[in-house]
Chains A and B, each alone.
Chain A
Amino acid sequence: MELVCPAGSLNAFRAAVDNGADAVYIGFKDETNARHFEGLNFNNKAAARALALARERGVKLYIAINTYANFDNFGQWQYSVDQAAELGADAIIAADPAVLSYCSKRHPAQNLHLSVQASATNAGALNFFKRHFNIKRAVLPRVLSMKQVHSLSQSSPVALEVFAFGSLCVMAEGRCYLSSYLCGESPNTVGACSPAKYVQWQKNGAQLESRLNNILIDSYSPEEKAGYPTLCKGRFDSMGARGHSLEQPTSLNTLELIPALAGAGIKALKIEGRQRSPAYVAKVVDVWRQALDNYKRAPEDFAVHSLWRDSLTALSEGTQTTIGAYERAWQ
Chain B
Amino acid sequence: MKMTLAPIPFFWPKDTVLAFYEEAALWPVERIVIGETICSKRREMRTEDWKDLALRLSKSGKDVALSSLALIESESEYNSIKSLALDGVGLEANDLGAAEIFHQQQHLFSAGHFLNIYNIECLKLLHQDGLRRWTLPVELGKKELEQFSSAINEHKLDIQTELFAHGYLPLALSARCFTARTLDKPKDRCEKICLDYPQGIAVDSQEGQRLFTVNGIQTLSGKLVDLVDKIAELKQLGLDSVRLSPSCFDMTDIIDSYQRAIDGEHVESVCDNYCNGYWHGREGMATELSELAALN
Contacts and interface: CB of A to CB of B under 8 A. Distances in A.
Interface of A: 68-71, 74, 95-98, 101-102, 118-125, 127-129, 131-132, 142-145, 148, 151-152, 155, 170-172, 174-178, 180-184, 186, 188-189, 213, 215-219, 232, 234-239, 242, 245-247, 325, 328-331
B285 A239 contact: no
A176 B72 CA distance: 15
Interface stretch (B5-13, B54-62, B111-119, B242-250): B111-119
Contacts of A96: 116, 118-119, 122
Contact of A132 (B101, B125, B139, B206): B125
B278 interface: yes
B205 A216 contact: yes
Given A96-B122, A237-B205, A121 B71 contact: yes
A236 B201 CA distance: 12
Range, interface on chain B: 35 or more
Interface of B: 70-75, 77-78, 81, 95-101, 103, 114, 116, 118-122, 125-126, 129, 137-139, 144, 147-148, 151, 169, 171-178, 181-183, 186-188, 201-209, 211-212, 214, 219, 221, 277-278, 281-285
A151 B72 CA distance: 13
Contacts of A148: 73-75
A101 B122 CA distance: 9
Given A174-B116, A175-B172, A245 B95 contact: no
B219 A246 contact: yes
A124 B174 contact: no
A128 B99 contact: yes
Given A124-B98, A186-B139, A177 B172 contact: yes
A152 to B, nearest CB: 8
Contact of B97 (A121, A131, A132, A181): A121
18 contacts: A68-B116, A101-B125, A118-B96, A124-B97, A132-B125, A143-B173, A151-B74, A172-B175, A174-B116, A177-B139, A180-B278, A180-B284, A182-B284, A184-B277, A237-B205, A238-B214, A239-B183, A331-B176
A188 B116 contact: yes
A215 B211 contact: yes
- Most chain B beta-carbon neighbours within 10 Å: one of A131, A143, A174: A143
Contacts of B139: 177, 180-181, 186, 188-189
